[in-house]
Amino acid sequence: MADAMEKIVSLCKRRGFIFPGSEIYGGLANSWDYGPLGTELKRNIADAWWKRFVRERSDMVGIDAAIIMNPKVWEASGHLAEFTDPLVECKKCHERFRADQVDMKKPCGNCEAKESFTVPKNFNLMFKTFLGATEDASAVAYLRGELAQAMFVDFKLVQETSRQRIPFGIAQQGKCFRNEITPGNFTFRTREFNLMEFEYFVHPQEWEKWFEYWLEEMKAWLRFCGVNSKNLVFHEIPDGDRAHYSRRTIDIEYHYPFGQKELYGLAYRTDYDLKRHTEKSGVDLSYTDPDTKEKYIPHVIEPTFGIDRTLLVVLLEAYREEGEGEERRMYLKLPALLAPYKAAIFPLLKNKPELVAKAEEVYKALKQDFAVAWDDRGNIGKRYYSQDEIGTPYCITVDFDTLEKGDVTVRDRDTAKQERVKIQELESFLREKISKT
């Protein structure tokens, strides 16, 4: 299974999905740059999520808040005191590990020293920085460790300006930062990562109903991403193991090649955050029901989705190898809506100007509406191979018949079947196919 991970990492580098960060300087451990195809894929995931959970709903609005917030936010939210992982240190080599990831009875994984670990102590994950020219306590600030706090701090402003009534949600996407003790497993755990999450504000008596509702919605999203439910585990987090703000959490875990680990989380945050911010800021963040006049602090259901983990899982699920000998091929069975390119356009022969000109016409027309690729290298078989590898759902070839009849060959990535489609129908053909994914 670890083999599957090696194949994905190698494909990502070879085809420009994800590169090691700062590579020409020897890299920076656990930092990754999304290349041209990875950027398209990541954007498509984020856009599909936004469309599904914000634009298509009337009970959800979005914000795009500052990454650096007033440090009082993190004090009030409990992150400065509680956002910690237990850490142990090897007394010999001083390497640090997450206590929940080492067997204390075994030798140090770095220097092999026996019985060398310190007792666990809590290590705060917030990324500290200084604002402006002075580096003293008054200038300390933090890069956000989660998106959620802006949705709480801005709750009143958003509710009033958008005239939303409870139940409703505030959504956000963006970078978060955590000073992880043991990042690793490619993009699974990094110190800066991309998150999409929303806080869904409900009446206190309705939290259970909405918790179940959002769990089903998260499952539906994962189906849309092409994730096989057999690879998912819904882990009810027991008392004592949940984050400090949560009264119920289900971690949605995935069978990665490196083990069963968290993909997403669904938490019932009660009124913990709005209450704390009301107390600490002095601003009343309660809500008054316009019909019943009942005044209360809303409770919160929080579905949270890591973008980098989504992308990794989408690639792992899409990876296919099939056939024997000459017929052997590898392809990415990506949902068409997520694929970096929706189609690739080929002139059958590169040295026939009339074919190249017609193919360019098709390419330029489709480029207005879709992300499309151009390829005129080598033979058609090699071009199919190359597009299969990056998950392009359709390959469109302009040949001599095109010049006479105005149609092209469209080859389907998954079935490798070919059909003729009129050039003027290509746009609606692609639109219809993509909408079905």
Place of tokens 């010999």: 92
Span near ligand GAP by CB under 6 A; candidates 23-31, 46-54, 128-136, 261-269: 261-269
Token pair of 253 as six digits: 């875990």
Told to check if 45 binds ligand GAP by CB under 6 A, we report no
Residues 6+ apart with CB under 8 A from 156: 283, 285
In the complex, residue closest to ligand GAP by CB:
306
Told to check if 407 binds ligand GAP by CB under 6 A, we report no
Told to check if 193 binds ligand GAP by CB under 6 A, we report yes
- Residue pair 250/125 in contact (Cβ under 8 Å)? The answer is no
> Quick check: bond before 167 cis, omega within 30?
yes
Told to check if 79 binds ligand GAP by CB under 6 A, we report no
Told to check if 148 binds ligand GAP by CB under 6 A, we report yes
Told to check if 151 binds ligand GAP by CB under 6 A, we report no
Shortest approach of ligand GAP to residue 297 CB, angstroms? 18
Told to check if 189 binds ligand GAP by CB under 6 A, we report yes
In the beta sheet, which residues pair with residue 255? 260
Which is closer to ligand GAP, CB of 151 or CB of 423?
A: 151
Residues 6+ apart with CB under 8 A from 405: none
Span near ligand GAP by CB under 6 A; candidates 67-75, 131-139, 259-267, 278-286: 259-267
DSSP code, position 90: B
What mask of x and - would describe binding to ligand GAP in positions 306 to 345, judged by CB under 6 A?
x-xx------------------------------------
Torsion of CA 346, 351, 354, 358, to 10 degrees: 20
Told to check if 265 binds ligand GAP by CB under 6 A, we report yes
Span near ligand GAP by CB under 6 A; candidates 130-138, 157-165, 257-265, 274-282: 257-265
In the beta sheet, which residues pair with residue 261? 254
Count of beta carbons in the 10 Å neighbourhood of residue 238: 8
Count of beta carbons in the 10 Å neighbourhood of residue 133: 6
**Residues near ligand GAP, by CB under 6 A:** 146, 148, 178, 180, 189-190, 193, 195, 197, 262-265, 302, 304, 306, 308-309
